[in-house]
Amino acid sequence: MDTNLHSPERRLIELRMEHADLDALIDRAATESPVDELMMRRLKKRRLALRDQIARLELVLDPKEPA
């Protein structure tokens, strides 16, 4: 059961959830006045890093070319 908690598939789900949470947070923060530019840059940088991690993990789980 412990292996299931640390499986790449579970990690991918967790990363996607965190990415969606950041999207929502960025959307809400953008509507505030005044906008905290530093916070927005940090959130967007974190969201981009998550997107890169998701893409790498998707390639590991479903490679495009046969091995």
Give one DSSP letter per residue of 3-52, joined into a string.
HHHT-HHHHHHHHHHHHHHHHHHHHHHHHSSS--HHHHHHHHHHHHHHHH
The string of pLDDT tens digits covering residues 32-66 is 889 899 999 999 999 999 999 999 999 998 877 76
* CA–CA distance, 43 with 18 (Å, rounded to integer): 11
The string of pLDDT tens digits covering residues 8-41 is 999 999 999 999 999 999 999 999 889 899 999 9
Unique residue bearing structure tokens 């967007």? 44
